């Protein structure tokens, strides 16, 4: 076993549950799921009776699993360490394997692979750890109870101090747990705090798939309404229950993909409430769904205030992202209109490997005193 494989056991399934095979006595032949060769190379091993063919697609690669023994199928995975959505097909039909990682994408459960070793800054280390709470609040915007997840830094319950707050949003078809399951934001933050590379903060992750009941029993997905829900429901709930600093200098918002669009709309129309913003694989405008671009008109009217008062406007994307052309259009928009921003590109596509790196950099910049001057 590789030295890091014990740590990876934490990530065998969604919710960071250890896989059963790691905590119960077992025979080697009965292990299945994501495994590793003696040299550390990953492979998939699944047990399925009477399967004609089993294929797995992940990271742009398609592999056929070969039957090595009766009902036992294997295939090497030619992928680098990182996070990948995985699609398993049995006899041409997509299935959900309980022996691979499970998360939520496209509004449904999907399999995923988190191939080790993880970067040092992302693993679960022997450091002080913050707490994660799953909260339920009433939303006057949606007219129903809604969830959010809250990370508080180590020592929050003992210090009595008030903390800056980051509202961190997921992408389309995900939920308030995605930054924990896929982004491992709690471990990332714990590690940065242990190295004194980040400011202790509270991180709030809400469900941005805002649903409105237009008529009794008739519901409509309206993601653009999240700004209202955040400002009218979520922020008041958090500020009442948690010790957060309520000045705009200590309030930030960031998000990936869809969450970046929600961030753009929110911070550009509520400059009085936010001084820090992060767009991860994201865009200032929108070309799909039910969004609008009136926030850009407001940005242009108030660009002098925006440039003066925004402490950090962080924009980043992967070099292979399918939306790169739109990101480059936003580059031109910022340049032509004199919008100050911090821009960075990462190797990768529209995926969690890029977004983890975005968060790693952004968390080391947000709320830093040198940027408050």
| pLDDT tens-place string over residues 249-297 | 999 999 999 999 999 999 999 999 999 999 999 888 754 444 567 899 8
* 247 and 150 part of one domain: yes
Whether 235 and 346 share a structural domain: yes
Question: Over the chain, what is the mean pLDDT?
Answer: 90
> In the prediction, which pLDDT does 2 show?
67
| Residues 223 and 317 reside in one and the same domain | yes
State whether 78 and 154 are in the same domain: no
* pLDDT at position 74 over 90: yes
- Percent share of the chain, pLDDT over 70: 89
Statement: residue 118 has pLDDT above 60: yes
**Looking at residue 284, what is its pLDDT?**
87
Question: Tokens 């080790």 correspond to what residue?
Answer: 116
For the domain that residue 74 is a member of, what is the CATH number?
A: 2.60.40.10
Co-location of 153 and 238 in the same domain: yes
Which pLDDT value is given to residue 213?
81
Residues 82 and 231 in one domain: no
Q: What helix, strand, coil percent values describe the chain, rounded to 5?
A: 30, 30, 40
Whether 46 is covered by a domain: the verdict is yes
In a domain, 126, yes or no: no
Q: Is residue 125 domain-resident?
A: no
Residues 190 and 57 in one domain: no
Q: 228 and 191: one domain?
A: yes
pLDDT of 303 reads: 95
145-167: average pLDDT: 96
208, two tokens: 């941005």
Worst-scoring range by mean pLDDT, 21-30, 85-94, 253-262? 21-30
Kindly tell me the burial class for residue 55, based on how many C-beta atoms sit within 10 Å of its own C-beta (0-12, 13-18, 19 or more): middle
Does residue 334 fall inside a structural domain?
yes
Task: Name the band, by pLDDT with cuts 50, 70 and 90, for residue 372.
Answer: very low
Task: Give the integer Cα–Cα distance in Å for 51 and 53.
Answer: 6
CATH number, residue 335: 3.40.50.1820
**Structural domain span for residue 353:** 131-371
pLDDT tier at 9, thresholds 50, 70, 90 = low
Check whether 20 has a pLDDT greater than 80.
no
User: Crossing angle for the helix pair 258-269 and 294-301, nearest 10 degrees?
Assistant: 40
120 within a domain of the structure (yes/no): no
Element (H, E) at 325: helix 324-337
Domain boundary, last residue among 90, 115, 140:
115
Asked, for residue 124, whether it belongs to a domain, the answer is no
Give yes or no: residues 145 and 109 share one domain.
Answer: no
Indicate whether 195 and 300 sit together in one domain: yes
Backbone φ and ψ of 83, nearest 5°: -100, 135
Helical packing angle, 352-363 and 185-194, nearest 10°: 30
194 pLDDT above the threshold of 70: yes
- pLDDT interval class at 220 (50, 70, 90): confident
- Considering the domain architecture, whether residues 177 and 55 belong to the same structural domain is answered as no
142 domain-assigned:
yes
* pLDDT tier for residue 16 given thresholds of 50, 70 and 90: very low
199 shares a domain with 144: yes
pLDDT, residue 320, reads 97
Query: Is residue 212 very low, low, confident or very high in pLDDT (cuts 50, 70, 90)?
Result: confident
Which of 62, 82, 115 terminates a domain? The answer is 115
pLDDT computed for residue 23 by the predictor: 47
Structural domain count of the chain: 2
């Amino acid at each position: 076993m590789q030295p890091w494989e014990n740590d990876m056991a934490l990530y065998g399934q969604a919710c960071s549950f250890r896989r059963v095979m790691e905590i119960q006595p077992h025979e080697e032949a009965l292990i299945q799921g994501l495994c590793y060769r003696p040299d550390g190379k990953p492979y998939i091993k699944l047990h399925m009776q009477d399967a004609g063919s089993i294929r797995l697609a992940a990271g742009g690669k398609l592999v056929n699993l070969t039957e090595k023994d009766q009902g036992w199928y294997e295939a090497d995975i030619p992928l680098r360490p990182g996070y990948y959505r995985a699609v398993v097909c049995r006899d041409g039909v997509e299935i959900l394997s309980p022996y691979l990682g499970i998360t939520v994408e496209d509004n449904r459960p999907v399999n995923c692979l988190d191939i080790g070793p993880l970067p040092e800054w992302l693993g679960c280390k022997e450091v002080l750890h913050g707490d994660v709470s799953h909260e339920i609040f009433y939303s006057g915007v949606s007219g129903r109870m809604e969830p959010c997840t809250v990370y508080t830094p180590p020592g929050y319950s003992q210090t009595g101090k008030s903390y800056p707050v980051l509202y961190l949003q997921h992408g389309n078809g995900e939920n308030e747990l995605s930054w924990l399951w896929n982004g491992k934001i709690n471990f990332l933050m714990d590690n940065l705090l242990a190295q004194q590379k980040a400011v202790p903060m509270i991180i709030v992750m809400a469900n941005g798939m805002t649903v409105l009941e237009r008529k009794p029993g008739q519901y409509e997905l309206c993601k653009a309404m999240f700004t209202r829900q955040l400002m009218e429901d979520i922020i008041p709930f958090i500020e009442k229950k948690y010790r957060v600093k309520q000045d705009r200098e200590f309030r930030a918002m960031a998000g990936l993909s869809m969450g970046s669009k929600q961030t753009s709309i929110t911070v550009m129309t509520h400059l009085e409430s936010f001084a820090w913003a992060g767009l991860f694989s994201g865009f200032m405008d929108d070309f799909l769904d039910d969004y609008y671009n009136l926030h850009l008109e407001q940005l242009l009217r108030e660009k002098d205030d925006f440039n003066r008062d925004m402490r950090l406007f962080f924009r980043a994307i992967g070099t292979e992202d399918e939306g790169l052309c739109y990101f480059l259009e936003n580059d031109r928009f910022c340049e032509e209109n004199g919008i100050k921003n911090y821009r960075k590109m990462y190797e990768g596509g529209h995926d969690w490997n890029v977004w983890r790196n975005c968060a790693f950099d952004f968390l080391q910049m947000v709320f830093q005193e040198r940027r408050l001057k």
